[in-house]
Structure 1
Amino acid sequence: MSQTQTINTPASQHPPLDLLERASLFLDFDGTLVELEARPDETRVNDRVRRLMAKLSAKLDGRLAIISGRPLDQIDALFGGAGFAISGSHGLEVRMPDGSLSAPIRPTGLDHALREVRGLAAKHEGLVIEDKPFGVSLHYRLAPHTEAECHALVRAMAEQDGLALQIGKMMVEVRVAGNDKGHGLRALMQSPGMFATRPVFIGDDDTDEPALAAAEEMGGAGIVVDPVRPSAARYRLDDVAATLAWLESAVER
């Protein structure tokens, strides 16, 4: 993860409704647009979110993107073919607004990590594995007592195979090193339609901090979706419901 300056902003600092004017909007997915699920494959995108994304894209003349830890193809599938730019796999995959795509080559170390986490999951009921194109995630929301064991194993895999360790909410992941969500935001901001605008990023997790910090550093703003967590963002929203309500109000302004 990129080094970022952490600012503990007060929970009362609500984002103003005019924040999206002359801005490009970047959204995390899980925990921001949809509630976190114990099993990632149980996540669904409802009609409210679909309508909201369509309105945001129209309002912002296409200056809209999702930046997620999920693979790009998963986000596409969840939206039934997304009509917006996407950065997936924590900034490793970037599909620009014009459709051009950049992504690394999957290293063999991930196959070794996948075998190891499958061995651990076979010993503990409730552990959920995500085999991603450029990472392997281990979710322990249904088996919280395994947290220390999960972290120790994945940390060892990262050190052994020269991969990056990524820690999130009730999950730990080993992935290709080098990029983060901040990289995804900066890459998307180079597109012609976004280049001269202010970036606004909304995210809920530690994995979102590089993008929250990047948005602030580039003259825009970060919004953290959490009532108390220390963050580089200057604004806060309490939860997914508050985030959707604010976006709906901002787009109708």
Structure 2
Amino acid sequence: MKQDVVQKDLVQKDLAPQDLGQQSPPQNKDAALRFDPVPHALLPPLSECAMLLDIDGTLLDLAPTPREVWVPPGLEATLTGLKAKTSGALALVSGRSLNDIDLIFAPVRFPAVGGHGAEMRLSGEGELMAVQAPPMDKDLKGRLAAIAKLSPGILLEDKGYSLALHYRLAPHAEQAIYDAVALIRADLPSAPIEVLPGKAVCEIKHAGFTKATGVRELMRHEPFKGRRPVFIGDDVTDETVFAIMPDLGGLAFSVGRHSRGVAGHFEQPRDVRAWLAGLLQRPA
């Protein structure tokens, strides 16, 4: 009886059946979303916006391994449409390298901030713009990479400017991974590195650059300059960008959890995709 009441209440609120833990057909997963989690009216006209979007856990659903993520049908068309309506001021902001981003969205290329702010491209057709971010020391990277041998299921991802240890397939190894990283940092106290805890991942990168520093640099250049940034992210590494949005006159939205200082919140990446698609239907 209680389940019937809950079901009826959710239907009255026009919530999608996925919110009851049920799965809808994959081909209609985004289209089935019928509620507006964040009012479009919060945003200024797209002609005044710069859309800045995290990838994993924000635009794309998380997968067991980084290589298993996939781009749902319709997302590339949505991003291309938003890029046109913002006169090119749409950028992907990710911890992934630009090369990895391009592989995911191939053959389409978008402006992007990659490697947690280590590299940047101002247009999909443009080349890499130099950012002051030195690669990680080779010997240090070798010591950190050896941590992956602690347990089967730990996946090593070398991003050039950083190293990521994914343990989604070995959740029991989380503490051992962070303990091993802490020992290396204690042994090399002057090493200019920073540890980024994420969703089932421990990432180690060179200190001195973040997604926030990358976004600040991006917003100094056309076509982003003078626009109001709208950033959507889901992870701890995105909080640096949330924090600078007021300085840039922008808006931030979180995914999966309520983060401090954001203007709104999405439950899942499918909510973000549906919301972005809806922006294209908004009157100019």
Q: TM-score by structure 1 length?
A: 0.87
Equivalent position SS for 1:61: coil
Bigger shift: residues 30-39 or 148-157: 148-157
Cα deviation, residue 156, structure 1:
3.6
Report the equivalent of 1:136: 163
Equivalent position SS for 1:167: strand
Q: Which has the larger radius of gyration?
A: 2
Cα deviation, residue 106, structure 1:
1.3
| Structure 1, unpaired ranges of 5+ | 1-12
Equivalent position SS for 1:192: coil
Superposed counterparts of 1:15-94, under 5 Å: 15-18=38-41, 19=43, 21=45, 22-94=48-120
Relative distance call for 1:20 and 1:168 in structure 2 (3 A) is farther
Report the equivalent of 1:216: 246
Report the equivalent of 1:148: 175
Relative distance call for 1:165 and 1:118 in structure 2 (3 A) is closer
Relative distance call for 1:219 and 1:144 in structure 2 (3 A) is same
Report the equivalent of 1:245: 274
1:33–1:243 CA contact under 8 A, matched in 2: yes
Equivalent position SS for 2:87: coil
Q: Alignment RMSD, CA only? A: 1.9
For the residues of structure 2 that align with 1:162 and 1:126, how far apart are their CA atoms? Answer: 28
1:113–1:154 CA contact under 8 A, matched in 2: no
- Superposed CA deviations along residues 76-129 of structure 1, whole A, max 9, x for unmatched, are 121115442110111111122354512333132xx3344334433223111111
Bigger shift: residues 189-198 or 114-123: 114-123
Cα deviation, residue 211, structure 1:
1.0
Match of 1:191 among 211, 221, 227: 221
For the residues of structure 2 that align with 1:252 and 1:99, how far apart are their CA atoms? Answer: 32
| Structure 2, unpaired ranges of 5+ | 1-35
Superposed counterparts of 1:86-125, under 5 Å: 86-97=112-123, 99=127, 101-103=129-131, 104-108=133-137, 111-125=138-152
Equivalent position SS for 2:116: coil
Question: What count of residue pairs does the alignment treat as equivalent?
Answer: 238
Q: TM-score by structure 2 length?
A: 0.78
Relative distance call for 1:142 and 1:100 in structure 2 (3 A) is closer
Report the equivalent of 1:9: none
Cα deviation, residue 14, structure 1:
4.4
For the residues of structure 1 that align with 2:97 and 2:104, how far apart are their CA atoms? Answer: 11
Bigger shift: residues 158-167 or 47-56: 158-167
Relative distance call for 1:81 and 1:163 in structure 2 (3 A) is farther
